[in-house]
């Protein structure tokens, strides 16, 4: 038997929402696995810092400014990555918004803003990358979903609807593209400790309520998410497509 290949040496990976939090960590771990990483976000200054960090660790990185709420920006960004690296082999669709709204308080603006990024923007990133990958005959797309797209969570009507849409979109794209060499999957985390979630998770009462729902007894780390993404992006994950991989410590098992 041969070895199982979890490496990404020489592959080009695009990470959206790469300037902070989970996206930043995913970009670093993809570079550690050997990928040439295009770090994408709206904030050009933060992308410069990301490139410096990855290159300082011996990796290869390229900044690309993409606003996922703007389809023209998406298409221009993916063309720029292809022109720079010669291919787009992996897409990690990480850019997204999160917010808590009681359902009766949701406004049209709340709905439209979140859907524009979490679902509409994600789809058009899939499309832009998918067109390049289909022409190549190979590619990996990993969409960032959430446990809130699988089970209901109070005050998350809009967010859950967007992530439920991501899950079914993932399955449809897998059906359409897998036979042509492009796998499409999603990773659905539970609460992940990041600088953005620390304000809530550092509150003992809030954390206690979260941990009551997680059988494994802790919140997730960025590396917990990165491990799942790396598997699905690597040759080792080649038989997996149309799947939503829950990284939830057992939250949805009950």
Give me the active site residues, please. 159
H or E element: which one contains 12? strand 12-16
Residues in the chain: 254
Longest dimension (CA), the chain: 58
Tokens of 62: 């390229």
Closest of 7, 101, 24, 121 to residue 63, by C-alpha: 24
Spatial separation of the C-alpha atoms in residues 155 and 144, rounded to whole Å: 20
Spatial separation of the C-alpha atoms in residues 13 and 129, rounded to whole Å: 10
H or E element: which one contains 228? helix 222-233
Closest of 76, 77, 72, 162 to residue 113, by C-alpha: 162
Tokens of 16: 């959206």
Tokens of 6: 């979890």
Q: Burial code of 51-66, b = ≥16 C-beta within 10 A, e = fewer?
A: bebbeeeebbbbbbeb
């Amino acid at each position: 038997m041969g070895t199982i290949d979890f490496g990404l040496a020489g592959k080009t990976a695009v990470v959206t929402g790469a300037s902070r939090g989970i996206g930043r960590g995913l970009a670093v771990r993809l570079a550690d696995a050997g990928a040439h990483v295009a770090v994408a976000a709206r904030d050009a200054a933060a992308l410069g810092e990301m490139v410096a960090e990855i290159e300082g660790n011996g990796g290869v990185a390229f900044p690309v400014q993409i606003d996922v709420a703007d389809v023209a920006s998406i298409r221009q960004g993916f063309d720029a990555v292809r022109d720079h690296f010669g291919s787009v082999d992996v897409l990690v669709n990480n850019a997204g918004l999160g917010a808590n709204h009681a359902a009766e308080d949701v406004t049209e603006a709340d709905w439209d803003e979140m859907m524009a990024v979490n679902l509409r923007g994600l789809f058009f990133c899939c499309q832009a990358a998918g067109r390049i990958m289909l022409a190549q005959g190979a590619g990996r797309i990993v969409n960032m979903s959430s446990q809130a797209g699988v089970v209901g969570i109070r005050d998350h009507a809009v967010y859950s609807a967007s992530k439920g849409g991501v899950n079914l979109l993932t399955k449809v794209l897998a059906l359409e593209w897998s036979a042509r060499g492009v796998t499409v999957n999603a990773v659905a985390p539970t609460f992940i400790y990041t600088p953005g979630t620390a304000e809530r998770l550092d509150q003992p009462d809030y954390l206690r309520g979260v941990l009551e729902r997680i059988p494994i007894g802790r919140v997730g780390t960025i590396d917990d998410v990165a491990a799942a993404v790396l598997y699905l992006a690597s040759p080792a994950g080649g038989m997996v497509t149309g799947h939503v991989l829950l990284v939830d410590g057992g939250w949805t098992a009950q």
